[in-house]
C-alpha cells in the first residue's frame, strides 16, 4: 500500500523503515532538505515540500494514498495535514502524532484524525495495523514477563472466520482479551463468533506469536 508521511525527522524515518521492511510504498514529505536527504537513506521516496500546502499534497499524489501519517514535531502542522488529507483527498486512514498532551483533545475526527498517538513506538505499531490485514502486529511489551499485546485483523479467508471462540484451539500462554468490531469493543465469551474484519487483541507469550499468526492467517 502507498503511505505518505509528513515529517522526515527521527519518528518519521523510523516509521518509514518499518513500513518499507513490510513491503509498503512510502513517501516522506519535509520542507527541510537535510531531513529529507536522511529520509532517502532509509529507502523511502522523498519530496522537499511544505506538507501544509495543498499544492504540495497534490504533488505528493495524496489521492492515491491509502494512509497518511502526520508525524512532525509540531502539533499544529500535524492537525493541518490530517485535516487536508481527510477533507480534501478522502484518505481512508489518517494517523497523527500528538507531541503535547494538552493538545490531545484536538486530535479527533473533526480534524480528520482516525488514530492519534503520542509515543513513536505505538505510532509505528498503529500505522502497521492501519495498512495490514491478516498479519500479527505487536502493539506493546509488558514490563514483567515475556508477554506482548498483539493485534490481528481477520481477513475474510482466515480459517477461523465463522467459528466460535471456544471452537478454536488457541496456542498456549495466549489469551484473547478483546474483539473490536466496527465501533464496538466486545469482551470475548466462548459463544462469540469470529467475523471477517474483526480486530482481535491478544496477550501472548513472545514465543507463541508465530503459532498464533499461523493459526489466524490465510
What is the reported pLDDT for 141? 75
Tell how strand 93-97 and strand 67-70 pair up. Answer: parallel
What is the reported pLDDT for 132? 60
Q: Please list the pLDDT of the chain residue by residue as tens digits (218 residues).
A: 889 999 998 888 888 887 888 788 999 999 998 888 888 877 889 999 999 999 999 999 998 998 899 999 999 999 999 999 999 999 988 889 988 888 989 998 899 998 888 766 556 556 655 556 667 777 777 766 678 888 888 888 999 999 999 999 999 999 999 998 887 889 999 999 999 989 899 999 989 999 999 999 86
- Of 131, 163, 196, which residue constitutes the final position of a domain? 131
- Of 82, 116, 131, which residue constitutes the final position of a domain? 131
Residues constituting the chain: 218
* Burial label, 65 (beta-carbon count in 10 A; 0-12, 13-18, 19+): buried
Tell how strand 25-29 and strand 2-6 pair up. Answer: parallel
Total of domains in the chain: 2
What domain range includes position 126?
2-131
Residue 97 sits in the same domain as residue 124? yes
Contact, 116 vs 104, CB < 8 A? yes
* Burial label, 87 (beta-carbon count in 10 A; 0-12, 13-18, 19+): exposed
Residue 125 sits in the same domain as residue 153? no
Residue 145 sits in the same domain as residue 93? no
Q: Name the nearest CA neighbour of 56 among 6, 126, 122, 8.
A: 6
Residue 179 sits in the same domain as residue 164? yes
What is the reported pLDDT for 146? 79
Residue 78 sits in the same domain as residue 111? yes
Sign of CA dihedral 53, 54, 58, 64: positive
Residue 113 sits in the same domain as residue 14? yes
Residue 122 sits in the same domain as residue 54? yes
Residue 157 sits in the same domain as residue 119? no
What is the reported pLDDT for 74? 94
- Residue 24 grid cell: 509498503
Residue 151 sits in the same domain as residue 176? yes
- Of 103, 131, 159, which residue constitutes the final position of a domain? 131
What is the reported pLDDT for 14? 83
Q: What is the pTM of this model?
A: 0.64
What is the reported pLDDT for 138? 77
Amino acid at each position: 500500500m502507498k503511505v505518505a508521511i509528513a515529517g522526515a525527522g527521527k519518528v518519521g524515518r523510523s516509521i518509514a523503515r518499518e513500513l518499507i521492511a513490510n513491503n509498503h510504498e512510502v513517501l516522506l514529505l519535509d520542507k527541510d532538505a537535510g531531513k529529507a536527504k536522511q529520509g532517502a537513506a532509509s529507502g523511502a521516496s522523498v519530496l522537499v515540500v511544505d506538507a501544509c500546502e495543498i499544492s504540495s499534497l497534490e504533488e505528493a499524489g495524496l489521492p492515491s494514498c491509502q494512509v497518511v501519517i502526520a508525524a512532525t514535531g509540531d502539533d499544529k502542522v500535524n492537525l493541518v495535514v490530517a485535516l487536508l488529507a481527510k477533507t480534501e483527498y478522502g484518505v481512508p486512514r489518517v494517523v497523527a502524532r500528538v507531541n503535547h498532551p494538552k493538545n490531545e483533545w484536538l486530535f479527533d475526527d473533526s480534524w480528520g484524525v482516525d488514530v492519534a498517538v503520542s509515543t513513536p513506538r505505538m505510532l509505528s505499531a498503529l500505522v502497521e495495523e492501519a495498512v495490514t490485514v491478516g498479519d500479527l502486529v505487536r502493539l506493546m511489551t509488558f514490563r514483567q514477563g515475556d508477554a506482548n499485546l498483539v493485534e490481528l485483523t481477520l481477513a475474510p479467508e482466515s480459517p477461523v472466520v465463522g467459528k466460535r471462540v471456544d471452537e478454536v484451539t488457541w496456542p498456549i500462554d495466549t489469551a484473547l482479551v478483546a474483539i473490536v468490531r466496527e465501533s464496538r469493543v466486545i469482551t470475548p465469551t466462548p459463544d462469540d463468533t469470529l467475523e471477517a474484519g474483526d480486530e482481535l487483541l491478544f496477550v501472548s507469550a513472545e514465543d507463541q506469536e508465530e503459532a498464533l499468526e499461523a493459526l489466524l492467517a490465510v
